[in-house]
Amino acid sequence: MRRTHNHRDLERLSTGKLCCIVLAVLVVICAAALSSARPQPQSEAGKARLERGRYLVQQVGLCGDCHTPRDDKGQPIVAKTLQGARTMFKPTVPMPSWGEFAPPIAGLPGFTDAQAITFLTTGKDVAGKLSAPPMPPYRFDKDDAAAVVAYLRSLAPQK
């Protein structure tokens, strides 16, 4: 007995094909996202940018002085580099906006790249306010700010 296809059979067939096509597209998108999440070999320019950022963070900004906790002898705890710390000094005069804690900056949690670059080039946070002392209102140029952001993003935040 030969079966004839009616409208409903064609709808099911079309729906089934459509589901397969959608599924195939999703698989391709997921595969692309996973492959881009893998560490990619860095170009020389990328390596130079990271090195510039490392230099600016460690030697110019001295970020670890405030953002890295210290042991009971005052030595930085290397395993917690740039993971946030209590501010080790106080102002000599009352200062109501004084920051008692330097937040973690390894990985730049809570900032988009654009927000971090704005902060480093203007000294203003995401709300448009200047940073609270003792954080200096940095005025890096855009390339140096981008290098700092790249370097800090390359550091794993503590879990």
State residue 15's pLDDT score: 52
Q: 99: burial class by Cβ within 10 Å (0-12, 13-18, 19+)? A: middle
Cα separation, 19 vs 7, whole angstroms: 18
CATH number of residue 91's parent domain: 1.10.760.10
State residue 16's pLDDT score: 54
Rounded average pLDDT over 125-142: 91
Whether residue 30 lies inside any domain: the answer is no
| Structural contact between residues 66 and 102, judged by C-beta atoms closer than 8 angstroms | yes
Whether residue 37 lies inside any domain: the answer is no
Residue ranges making up the domain that contains 68: 45-154
How far is residue 114 from each of residues 15, 54, 86, 146, 150, measured CA to CA in Å? 43, 19, 27, 9, 12
Cα separation, 55 vs 152, whole angstroms: 11
Rounded average pLDDT over 123-143: 92
3-class DSSP assignment, residue 85: strand
State residue 156's pLDDT score: 84
Rounded average pLDDT over 130-141: 92
Whether residue 8 lies inside any domain: the answer is no
Cα separation, 121 vs 115, whole angstroms: 10
Whether residue 12 lies inside any domain: the answer is no
State residue 24's pLDDT score: 46
Whether residue 32 lies inside any domain: the answer is no
Whether residue 14 lies inside any domain: the answer is no
Cα separation, 75 vs 81, whole angstroms: 11
pLDDT per residue as tens digits for the range 79-132: 999 999 999 889 999 988 899 999 999 999 989 999 999 999 999 988 899 988
- In the numeric block, the tokens 């654009």 are attached to 114
| pTM for the full predicted model | 0.70
Domain total in the chain: 1
Whether residue 6 lies inside any domain: the answer is no
Query: 59-63, 82-86, 135-139: which has the minimum mean pLDDT?
Result: 135-139
pLDDT per residue as tens digits for the range 12-58: 545 555 444 544 444 344 444 444 344 455 788 899 999 999 999 99
Whether residue 4 lies inside any domain: the answer is no
